[in-house]
Structure 1
Amino acid sequence: MTADGDGGDQAQTQGDGHFEEFVEFLTAETRSDVRKTALNYFEGLSLSSEGVQLFKENDFAIGKRLRTLFHTSSSDQATILRILTNICAHASDCVQFVLSADGESGSSLITAVCSRFRTADDLAAAESGAKLLSNISLHNAYAVWERLHGVWPDFVREAVALLNREDREAYTNYVGYVLRNITTLNEVRAQVIEDESVLLDLLPLMNQERWPKRKRIAVDIVRNLCFQDNRHEQLLSRPQVLVAVLTPLIGPEELSSEENDLLPIELQYMEPSKTREPDVDVRIKLLETLYQ
């Protein structure tokens, strides 16, 4: 997924003649308007396959410049994060570069991103950071979780709380994507399952229409939880889980008394107006959840 959210537009590059010149402008000492022009050039370039290849050249020379600039020019951080997000949407080796340490400082750019995106004081930078973490966690969930947990110990609980809030919608959705991606890890799944309040706050998102993206996030997370066989009994011990999974699958069909009695009590004798979840992908994921 690229930083503009569409994942597919290809940028028109300005020609090789500008490339080396613009690289030299990626320093905090460069005049701000010139530096902004250079960053805008690389942001456009980052949407193309040519841009990805250029990013990798000379041992990630552009990336190293951007990484240093991120730490030395706070006003450029949102743009830098968008560039890195676009690059990481294309290549796993670019993801590994972003995850690597900054040489002598020993501090990881991604750790700095985790710290900044927690507070959301600068919403533009926070949204850009959340998008980058979303892309990286698709490739390396553990690396993101390791760094994120170090600076945001209550991330799982607070992310679910954010998903139930109305404000900062774009930022919150990307926080949700990060949570979805890291629930592929046993350690994170354990946190969700064992903290009953977190799990019960997550389930209502599966059966609401206000935030379709968050519904899909919640469904994906619950499906991830069910991939862990040794947790099935624990999940089923909370009847709300099965109710949340089955409710979207139930339509207006009439059931016999015997069939009805097999359902959880909350699903018996539902209103005739009850309709089935219209999103086919959501229904498929719910069925996959039941078959785990």
Structure 2
Amino acid sequence: MLSDSEAAELLSFLTPATRPDVKGHTAGYILGLSGNRDGCRFLRARPDIIAALFALTSDPSAAIAEDCYRVLINLSADETLHQVFQEEMGLAQLVDILCTEGYNPHANMHYLAPLLSNLTQLPDARRFLMDKDRCAVQRLLPFTQFEASALRRGGVVGVLRNCCFDHANHEWLLSDQVDILPFLLLPLAGPEELSEEDNEGLPVDLQYLPEDKKREEDPDIRQMLLETLMLLAATKDGRRTLKDKNVYVVMREFHRWEKDPKVTSACEKLVEVLIGDEPDRGMDNLLEVNIPEDVEEKLKEAHAKEQRELQAEEERRNQEDDEQTDIRQE
């Protein structure tokens, strides 16, 4: 691994004034480091490099900014670095940048969403977002339908799913102060014509949807949305709200449309909760049931895999867009 003098030299290249080609080469090198355990261990001990990378996410070069984001996403998957990220970056700044359109005209900032998703695995990060005076989580809700980027949509849905693990906030999340439910349901709702009775039971934003209404195209994001609803249904008050808001009707039509077996299975589990009897006494809150360590570890691995797949899909789409642009220019 790099010596202290080599690390200092590396850091000296991560400044806004450094030549673009040198900055690009250095960011690419660090991206490679962040892809393996030893490299992450080295970067973990260098918060100065992490801070420099974050500063370069505003670089005029989109390629450099995106490489820096990829490094930060890789590092944020490591729980031992969550606290470092909170102190070097500041969650308030992350949310502001993500929610400010055109914050950096040279980079689209979509990579901030999965970064924030990784950080909200930490209870302190979730507490920040769900502070009732900050209204941070409310600012993120519209991005569940952000058409320009599956990476941003998926990252934000991941944030909301993480927040819903804190069952003490379910009542607030489902209340008029946040009103999270329509933002989770709309991506799953389609153009099917419903009866007047079915429509009237739904949240207002879900009633009488237009004929051209489309569902979320990414199956991984659809599954995460269902998992988030399932978390809300894990508490007695949450189940009551989902039933009162006629969520079953949306799930009924969604189940008829869905073709992905994995997503269909997640939908069926939610429907079982919505139409089934209440759990036995002592099981009212399913989130308070102890989860074996091996199961919890598998859930974390699955989450990390989802983020990597979303990132890879986003990169593929960006490459296709670039190729189409080159063709048009020729």
With the length of structure 2 as denominator, give the TM-score of the two structures: 0.60
Deviation at 1:198, TM superposition (A): 4.4
Quick one: distance in 2 between partners of 1:167 and 1:286?
A: 26
The answer for unaligned runs of 5 or more in structure 1 is 1-14, 103-107, 250-274
Amino acid at match of 1:193: L
Deviation at 1:72, TM superposition (A): 7.6
Quote the RMSD (CA, aligned, Å). 3.4
> Which residue in 1 is equivalent to 2:228?
221
Which runs of 4 or more aligned residues in structure 1 lie more than 6 Å from their structure 2 counterparts after TM superposition? Answer: none
Q: Does 1:189 align with 2:196?
A: no
Amino acid at match of 1:206: L
Q: Does 1:83 align with 2:83?
A: no
> Which residue in 1 is equivalent to 2:128?
146
**What secondary structure sits across from 1:179 in the alignment?**
helix
Correspondence for 2:51 among 67, 79, 102: 67
Correspondence for 1:233 among 217, 234, 240: 240
Deviation string, structure 1 residues 231-269 (Cα, Å, up to 9, x no partner): 32233222x2122234444xxxxxxxxxxxxxxxxxxxx
For the 8 Å contact 2:58–2:65, the answer to whether it is kept is yes
The answer for unaligned runs of 5 or more in structure 2 is 191-214, 274-285, 287-330
For the 8 Å contact 1:220–1:285, the answer to whether it is kept is yes
> Which residue in 1 is equivalent to 2:250?
244
Deviation at 1:55, TM superposition (A): 1.4
Counterparts of 1:1-292 in structure 2, within 5 Å, are: 19-20=6-7, 21-28=9-16, 30-56=18-44, 60-61=45-46, 63-68=47-52, 70-71=54-55, 74-75=58-59, 77-89=65-77, 91-99=78-86, 101-102=87-88, 108-121=89-102, 122=104, 124-137=107-120, 139-144=121-126, 146-147=128-129, 153=135, 155-156=137-138, 158-186=139-167, 188-195=169-176, 198-208=180-190, 209-213=215-219, 214-238=221-245, 240-249=246-255, 275=256, 277-289=258-270, 290-291=272-273
Counterparts in 2 of 1:72 and 1:202: CA distance versus 1, 3 Å:
closer
Counterparts in 2 of 1:141 and 1:288: CA distance versus 1, 3 Å:
farther
**What secondary structure sits across from 2:118 in the alignment?**
helix
Q: Percent identity of the aligned residues?
A: 19
Deviation at 1:222, TM superposition (A): 0.9
Deviation string, structure 1 residues 72-93 (Cα, Å, up to 9, x no partner): 883165433321111222x210
> Which residue in 2 is equivalent to 1:253?
none
Amino acid at match of 2:250: A
Counterparts in 2 of 1:71 and 1:236: CA distance versus 1, 3 Å:
same
For the 8 Å contact 1:28–1:69, the answer to whether it is kept is no
Amino acid at match of 2:43: F
Deviation string, structure 1 residues 137-176 (Cα, Å, up to 9, x no partner): 2x215414505869962633x5443333533443233222
Deviation at 1:53, TM superposition (A): 1.8
Number of aligned residues: 239
